[in-house]
Amino acid sequence: MNLAPVIPVLVIDDVEASVLLARALVAGGLPAIEVTLRTTSAIDCIAAISADVEGAVVGAGTVLNPAQMELAINAGSKFLVSPGATQELIDASRRTNVPLLPGVATASEAMGLAEEGITAVKFFPANQAGGAGYLKALSSPLPHITFCPTGGINAQNASDYLSLPNVVCVGGSWVAPKDLIEKGDWAGITQLAKAASQLER
Ligand code: 3PG
């Protein structure tokens, strides 16, 4: 969460393209990269990025259960992200030393995880669940909890979140848009990453 202000969230099914994409993001100053387990080749993409992209810290997103957690770790994931938090996932993550960023959308969920000793969480789906104003309202009663909001964040609204005291970084897919990936416009993606990596937090 501290490596850069933005964690790119990737939905990608082409292993070769995922390596080029990760290189473009790292070149733009975004080393922490989340590959969501939403495609059949996501695990292969994680393995390829982990093996071939210098400077990348690749993690798995959309981790929904311990079986996916194990596959992701075996492929080389350095961190795991989930849209929510089940007791099963939390228990499984205690048996590994790979950090888990679980998701919450309410004060009660965040308090429940804090009771488990987890005080850095994902706020998901950020925009739809109340946006930066909602997260700001949580900072006063829950000052010990820090967030990585994700969901509907883009170049226009990222700063609204990053300026909050309880936000460490944001996640989003806007730095790796589908059309640029399909065109193989890696220089364009590096430009987007550069702009994102320079956002103040
Ligand atoms: C996620 O998986 O965290 C979100 O789907 C990313 O959201 P975005 O595509 O709206 O940036």
What's the mean per-residue pLDDT of the chain?
A: 98
- Give residue 155's pLDDT: 97
- Give residue 124's pLDDT: 98
Element (H, E) at 11: none
Is 46 domain-assigned?
yes
Q: Give the number of domains in the chain.
A: 1
- Give residue 37's pLDDT: 98
Q: How far is residue 169's CA from residue 76's CA, in Å, rounded to a whole number? A: 22
Q: How far is residue 164's CA from residue 157's CA, in Å, rounded to a whole number? A: 12
Is 45 domain-assigned?
yes
115 is catalytic: no
Backbone dihedral region for residue 104 (phi beyond 0: left; psi -120 to 50: alpha; all else: beta): beta
Q: What is the mean pLDDT of residues 181-191?
A: 98
Q: Which atom of ligand 1 is nearest to the CA of 153?
A: 11
Q: What is the pLDDT of residues 136-166, one digit of tens each?
A: 999 999 999 999 999 999 999 999 999 999 9
Q: Token pair 């790119």 is at which residue?
A: 8
Is 35 domain-assigned?
yes
**Domain CATH code at residue 125:** 3.20.20.70
Q: What is the mean pLDDT of residues 3-29?
A: 98
Tokens of 86: 């089940």
SS3 64: coil
Is 43 domain-assigned?
yes
User: Per the residue annotation, which of 122, 136, 194, 200 is the catalytic one?
Assistant: 122
Percentage of the chain surpassing pLDDT 70? 100
User: Per the residue annotation, which of 16, 34, 109, 136 is the catalytic one?
Assistant: 34
Is 72 domain-assigned?
yes
Q: Which residues pair with 147 in a beta bridge?
A: 121, 167
Q: What is the pLDDT of residues 104-143, one digit of tens each?
A: 999 999 999 999 999 999 999 999 999 999 999 999 999 9
Q: How far is residue 38's CA from residue 179's CA, in Å, rounded to a whole number? A: 18
Q: Write the residue with the smallest CA distance to atom 9 of ligand 1.
A: 173
Is 1 domain-assigned?
no
pLDDT band at 200 (very low <50, low <70, confident <90, very high): very high
The single-letter code of the amino acid at 76 is G
Mutate to test the pocket of ligand 1, among 9, 37, 122 (most ligand atoms within 8 A of CB): 9
Tokens of 49: 């990025």
Which residue range is the domain that position 122 belongs to? 6-197
